[in-house]
């Protein structure tokens, strides 16, 4: 085997290894609120998963809860995208109250369920925000903001 062949074979082995180990292990099941199908959590165009997103995929726990900077950012994104239907304090308008204990979608009282609805949509006017350029990191920040409003 020539040196070039050997080098390219090594490269091929390394590539396979890199691809195998780069795929994040998704331990938690993310499901569509409407039909219970598995969610496609692949990044949107230009999105790089943050450590918070990677950790959320594995644990289903939002690392930004209680983080003042993330909450402040989440508030801005909420005001730009959500308050028109849910009100600035998330108490509900055309869309439901997000800070009481009453939920339409059975998992929406958990951060995982909120993420599923915001990422991939629910009934009627609640559109999938991943299809509107929102990154998963931004969704986690919005959820941290909503959680901060709960009494």
List residues binding ligand HEC (CB under 6 A). 81-82, 84-86, 94-96, 98, 103-105, 108, 114, 117-118, 122-126, 129, 142
Residue with Cβ nearer ligand HEC (71 or 126):
126
Residue with Cβ nearer ligand HEC (50 or 81):
81
**Which residue is listed with tokens 């925000």?**
129
C-beta separation of 114 from 108 below 8 A = yes
Task: State the minimum distance, in angstroms, from the CB of residue 25 to ligand HEC.
Answer: 26
How far apart CA 56 and CA 144 sit, in angstroms, is 12
Task: State the minimum distance, in angstroms, from the CB of residue 100 to ligand HEC.
Answer: 9
| Residue 104, token pair as written in the block | 């339409």
C-beta separation of 137 from 64 below 8 A = no
Residue with Cβ nearer ligand HEC (20 or 132):
132
Task: State the minimum distance, in angstroms, from the CB of residue 64 to ligand HEC.
Answer: 14
Of 34, 30, 32, whose CA–CA distance to 123 is shortest?
A: 34
Residue with Cβ nearer ligand HEC (55 or 81):
81
**Which residue is listed with tokens 């901060």?**
148
C-beta separation of 146 from 99 below 8 A = yes
**Which residue is listed with tokens 């938690």?**
28
Task: State the minimum distance, in angstroms, from the CB of residue 130 to ligand HEC.
Answer: 10
């Amino acid at each position: 085997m020539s040196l070039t062949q050997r080098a390219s074979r090594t490269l091929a082995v390394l590539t396979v290894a890199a691809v195998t180990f780069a795929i994040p292990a998704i331990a938690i099941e993310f499901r569509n609120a409407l039909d219970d199908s598995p969610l496609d959590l692949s990044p949107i165009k230009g999105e790089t998963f943050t450590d918070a997103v990677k950790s959320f995929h594995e644990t289903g726990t939002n690392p930004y809860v209680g983080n003042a900077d993330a909450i402040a950012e989440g508030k801005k994104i909420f005001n730009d995208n959500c308050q028109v239907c849910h009100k600035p304090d998330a108490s509900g308008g055309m869309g439901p109250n997000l800070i009481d204990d009453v939920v339409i979608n059975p998992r929406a009282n958990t951060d995982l369920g909120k993420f599923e609805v915001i990422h991939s949509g629910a009934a009627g006017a609640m559109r999938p925000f991943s299809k509107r350029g929102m990154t998963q990191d931004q969704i986690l920040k919005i959820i941290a903001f909503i959680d901060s409003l709960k009494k």
